[in-house]
Amino acid sequence: MRAAVALAALAVVSVARADALDELLRGFATHRTGHAAFTEVHEFALLKRPLRSSGELRYRSPDYLEKRTLQPRPETLVLKDGTLLAERGRHRRVLELAAHPELVPYIESIRATLAGDRAALERYFVVDVSGDASAWTLRLRPRPGPIGRSVQEVRLSGAAAAIREVDIRLKDGDRSRLEIGPDLPP
Amino acid sequence: MSNPAARAAALWGLAVLLLLAIALRANFRTDLSAFLPRAPSAAQRLLVGQLQSGPAGRLIVAAIRGGGPTGRAAASIALARALRGGADFTSVENGDEESLARDREFLLRERYLLSPDVSPGRFQAAGLRAALEASLDTLAAPEGVLVKDLFARDPTGEFLGLLERASGTQPPREQAGAWSSHDGREALLLLQTRAPGADTDAQQRAIEAVQRAFAQVRTTTAQGAQLSLLLSGPPVFATEARALIRSEVKRLSALSAVLIALLLLSLYRSPLALLLTFVPVASGALAGVAAVALGFGTVHALTLGFGVTLIGESVDYSIYLFVQGEGAGMHLWDTLRLGVLTSIAGFAALLPSSFGGLAQLGLYSIAGLIAAALVTRYVLTAWRPRTLRLRDLRALGRVLLKWHSRRRGVPALLMVLALAEAALLWVQRGHLFSADLAALSPISLAAQDTDARVRADLGAPDVRYLVVVSAASAEAALEGAARLAAHLDPLVSAGTIGGYETPSRYLPPQQVQAARRASLPEPAALRTALHAALETLPVRAEALEPFVRDVAQARGAPLLTRADLEGTGFGALVEGLLHRDAHGAQALLPVSARGAADLTPEALAALHGVVAAAPGATLLDLKGETDRLYGGYLRQAVELSLAGAVAILALLLVALRSARRVARVLLPLALAVMGVAALQALRGEPLGILHIVGMLLIVAVASNYALFFDRARAHPVEADLERTVASVVVANLATVIGFGVLAFARVPVLAQLGATVAPGALLALLFAALLSGDLRSDDAHAD
């Protein structure tokens, strides 16, 4: 009997969690566009000191994401309809996201959250929500398979319908952090 | 053996057996060989070599349709595995993980021998610093995760550079682990046959191997039942063209034979006479094939197609014999002999043609006509049963003669028409001829479009510009290719050309490899240089120990040879781009334009400049060269046809000994030819080679009509006249049926021929009749 109560309580908790995720994603779904500055820090074992870069992020619902790096060297990365276009100097690369599952944690974590696309999030990750609307954290652990070949987990955190940090932890202990903000005029 | 019929039968039988023995052993071909020059120039020899055995002629694109992306990809992978196990293909590419991984592994392992960036400076402090900075940029980018594991082994980015060069400007799209079309509806495979493009039989076996393997795949993979296979590319076109020509020749010769048989049966009312009519036809066709086999070594399937045309002419001989009857006697043979000689004079003009197909047609027709005439003269007359009672066609002749007598005023009208034709041709003279070889291709435009699309999707567009580096040995050719490549690189960076491929990229000349290997420093020296380079960079030197290890290993590794490339995609590529033959070796460097299919004149000039400065290198514009070749053929066809006309004129002058009679014979023929040309111009269709040949055929066939009218005028015997007119009209009908049927062929060369000769023969008869003057003194006699 006690066990049953405990189970029921657990169920209530997970329902509450699920609701929290729904609520969080609903907030994102109402925002169709976004434009913000970013700073990125790579902390790799082979580096003496972290690599830093900065630039602007642009988003348009549901699947256009642009990351324009301005410092230290200009580079543009555009996600559109599942295709990734990278331009650096004269180099231009087109990647199909579907053909490169290792890139999914870097891209879909952000895109699916911004789009409020719970189905996509749960297709690729085991999702945990914590905190409240003023300071929430999404912990995304890649599901088994090539998606999680190098990524241990992705932690997104923010306030209300805004991501403020994307923390990507790799299996080899390396780490990349993307700090987002402040918002820029559209 | 006193019986002449038996003697004729025995002789004929022997001849047929002999000819059959020759014809059955003949080698039949359907590739481009009929369209290639017999005595090529140096550039043409390169072109012919490329068309016959070059890599372009060996590429098959397989597209798997239906089902879902995963089903198609699974089928693609299964199909590739099955074909790689067979012997028909040197390379099977479909972008599957297995072979991509194998190719990547090769590039990674051999990066210090392959990378053009490897030089002594690359491994000193300054060079290392520059290379590392570029690699750090890549590492920081999101796709850095793809290369992060490699950074410690390859911090100078040699591997990524090689990968980028190898994948070209636009690698194919990938779906579920295999290449797909851009629209994502087909899985695509690129197959390279082992056999050269000119070996149609082997190509057909390779295609059948693909179809068999695919049938197997359909039953063994999930969704297999929903999938279908589409094959495209030169080998497929060659075999399809052969099958099409074969089936069309069969279908159309059967159809015209049936139609002509019905016509003759209704007139002769004698199955035996009908049967006999086809004896000269069949004998002629057989003699034609045997003559071509003896004269050329091989018989092009198209030549068989022209066999259909021989029905149209040789059937006339027996018609003249049967309809004009015994009463015609020696007059018939005199006239027929002159007719055959006229035809031979015309066709003999084709013999010296450098267009192999035309020369074959000339020999085929000459042998065929001589055989048909001889069989008519000596076999048919002997076999014609005494009891044979043909329907008397004099009544038909009488009616025709009556119409003929009412033609007053028509000749004047005809002259006006002729002037109009001449004026039209003069106005259109700039657009009369077509210089497009593609017009001769039996492959439908839709199939050609599909081919162009899937090739574009695969990043393997049709090669138009090819630099050929000839040298004494394969190694020397590779050296030449490598030197040329160094001069092509600036054109690529400047955007003048889109890109190029070269065998020296994957199999650099030994001396280049040796120089690269020699520029790799010893571990101690490399560590020292690294320390200096890393002073200003955020990378820890200890983390790069795998790099030092790899370089040390590469210093001791042997140089790459052709055998090392086997089993990789690059092996097949080098196989296609590096040829050895009796004259030495050739390296091929296909050059692609930027974005568009054709180079701009400025780009072409720049390319020409680079190639001209390289010893042993020739720039080949495959399309331009082919167009020039065809243009040359066309000019030659016109010249030879004119020469044939002159020969016919000389022959008639000698035989008839009267300029007036010769003019009377030739005028209707000239008018008919002009009429056909004018019709063609009115339809807005330019004249191709086969139209020109068709005009020669008009003269060959219709000269008989004109000669019979001429004889009728010269020797007016009433009973003969009616029969003569009837025989000419029946013969003409048979010809028009034969060629008219051909006009509906799905093989353009045959259709062109039919569409020219059928109306031409009809016009020639009309003109010959109308211009023949009064055939008898008393018009009222017939009533």
Using an 8 Å CB-CB cutoff, list chain A residues near B543.
45-47
What pLDDT was estimated at residue B759? 92
Residue B330 has pLDDT above 70, yes or no: no
Mean pLDDT of B18-38: 73
State the first-to-last Cα distance of chain B, in angstroms, to the nearest integer.
Answer: 49
Q: Which of A46, A75, A96 sits opposite B152 (nearest CB)?
A: A46
Residue B408 has pLDDT above 70, yes or no: no
**More confident: A181 or B539:** B539
- Only one residue has tokens 């790579």, namely A42
Q: Which of A23-37, A93-107, B112-126, B484-498 has the highest mean pLDDT?
A: B112-126
Sorted by where each begins, the domain ranges of chain B are 4-28+237-427+658-782
The answer to whether the CB atoms of B174 and A46 lie below 8 A apart is: no
Q: Which of B54-68, B121-135, B437-451, B756-770 has the highest mean pLDDT?
A: B121-135
Torsion of CA B723, B725, B728, B733, to 10 degrees: -100
What phi-psi label fits residue B171: left (phi over 0), alpha (psi between -120 and 50 degrees) or beta?
beta
Reply yes or no: is the peptide bond before residue A62 cis, omega within 30 of 0. Answer: yes
The answer to whether the CB atoms of A107 and B146 lie below 8 A apart is: no
What pLDDT was estimated at residue B780? 37
Using an 8 Å CB-CB cutoff, list chain A residues near B164.
91
**More confident: B250 or B126:** B126
Amino acid making up residue B399: V
Supply angle C-alpha B176, B177, B180, rounded to 5: 75
- Which tokens in the block code for residue B400? 């025709």
- Taking the C-alpha atoms of residue B380 and residue B273, their distance in angstroms, rounded to an integer, is 10
Amino acid making up residue A169: R
> What's the mean pLDDT when you consider all of chain B?
83
* Residues 6+ away with beta carbon under 8 Å from B161: B115, B117
**pLDDT grade, residue B129 (50/70/90)?**
very high
- Taking the C-alpha atoms of residue B606 and residue B612, their distance in angstroms, rounded to an integer, is 10
State the first-to-last Cα distance of chain A, in angstroms, to the nearest integer.
Answer: 57
**pLDDT grade, residue B422 (50/70/90)?**
confident
- Cβ proximity of B285 and B369 under 8 Å: no
A52, β-bridge pairs: A41
User: Cα dist. B469→B43, B476, B509, B735 in Å?
Assistant: 12, 9, 14, 52
Using an 8 Å CB-CB cutoff, list chain A residues near B143.
84, 86, 93, 95, 100, 103
* Residues 6+ away with beta carbon under 8 Å from B694: B676, B752, B753, B754, B755, B756, B757, B760
Reply yes or no: is the peptide bond before residue B686 cis, omega within 30 of 0. Answer: no
What pLDDT was estimated at residue A9? 47
**Surface-to-core class of residue B524, CB atoms within 10 Å of its CB (0-12 exposed, 13-18 middle, 19+ buried):** exposed
Residue B30 has pLDDT above 70, yes or no: no
Mean pLDDT of B173-196: 87
Mean pLDDT of B599-613: 91
**Helix residue ranges per DSSP H, chain A:** 2-29, 104-115, 118-124
Reply yes or no: is the peptide bond before residue B116 cis, omega within 30 of 0. Answer: no
Amino acid making up residue B206: A
Q: Which of A46, A77, A86 sits opposite B540 (nearest CB)?
A: A46
Closest CA to A180 of A118, A120, A76, A110: A110
* Residues 6+ away with beta carbon under 8 Å from B677: B421, B425, B432, B687, B691, B695
Task: List the domains of chain A with CATH numbers.
Answer: 2-52+102-183 (2.50.20.10)
Residue B168 has pLDDT above 80, yes or no: no
The answer to whether the CB atoms of B148 and A150 lie below 8 A apart is: yes
- Which tokens in the block code for residue B206? 């390779």
Nearest-Cα distance to chain B for A174, in Å, is: 10
R_g over Cα of chain A: 18
- Which tokens in the block code for residue B580? 């050895």
Tens of pLDDT, residue by residue over B349-372, are: 888 888 777 888 889 989 999 999
Mean pLDDT of B504-508: 94
The answer to whether the CB atoms of A51 and B151 lie below 8 A apart is: no
- Which tokens in the block code for residue B75? 């089928």
**More confident: B256 or B410:** B256
What pLDDT was estimated at residue B307? 65
- Cβ proximity of B74 and B175 under 8 Å: no
B174, β-bridge pairs: B179
Tens of pLDDT, residue by residue over B243-263, are: 887 788 788 888 888 898 898
Q: Which of A65-79, B563-577, B713-727 has the highest mean pLDDT?
A: A65-79
3-class SS at B10? helix
3-class SS at B250? helix
What pLDDT was estimated at residue B556? 94
**pLDDT grade, residue B781 (50/70/90)?**
very low
What pLDDT was estimated at residue B471? 92
Residue B523 has pLDDT above 90, yes or no: yes
What pLDDT was estimated at residue B540? 92
Mean pLDDT of B718-735: 79
What pLDDT was estimated at residue B567? 80
What pLDDT was estimated at residue B31? 60
Residue B326 has pLDDT above 70, yes or no: no
**More confident: B84 or B685:** B84
Residue B439 has pLDDT above 60, yes or no: no
What pLDDT was estimated at residue B304? 72
Mean pLDDT of B462-470: 84
Mean pLDDT of B488-514: 91
Using an 8 Å CB-CB cutoff, list chain A residues near B130.
none
- Taking the C-alpha atoms of residue B674 and residue B419, their distance in angstroms, rounded to an integer, is 10
pLDDT tens, chain A, 186 aa long: 444 444 444 444 444 555 788 888 888 888 888 899 999 999 999 899 998 999 999 988 888 999 999 988 888 999 988 888 888 877 777 777 877 888 888 888 988 888 888 899 899 999 999 888 889 999 999 999 888 888 999 999 998 888 899 999 999 899 999 999 888 887
Tens of pLDDT, residue by residue over B58-88, are: 889 999 999 888 899 999 999 999 998 888 9
Residue B405 has pLDDT above 80, yes or no: no
Tens of pLDDT, residue by residue over B662-674, are: 988 888 898 899 8
What pLDDT was estimated at residue B154? 94
What pLDDT was estimated at residue B40? 63
Phi/psi of residue B194, nearest 5 degrees: -75, -40
Supply angle C-alpha B24, B30, B32, rounded to 5: 140
What pLDDT was estimated at residue B440? 60
- Which tokens in the block code for residue B225? 């039942």
**More confident: A30 or B217:** B217
CB-facing half-sphere around the CA of B536: CA atoms within 13 A = 8
The answer to whether the CB atoms of B140 and A84 lie below 8 A apart is: no
- Taking the C-alpha atoms of residue B36 and residue B21, their distance in angstroms, rounded to an integer, is 28
Among B235-249, B495-509, B709-723, the minimum mean pLDDT is found in B709-723
* Residues 6+ away with beta carbon under 8 Å from B663: none
What pLDDT was estimated at residue B609? 93
Q: Which of B138, B143, B150, B154 to mutate to test the interface with A (most CBs of A within 10 A)?
A: B143
- Taking the C-alpha atoms of residue B461 and residue B723, their distance in angstroms, rounded to an integer, is 63
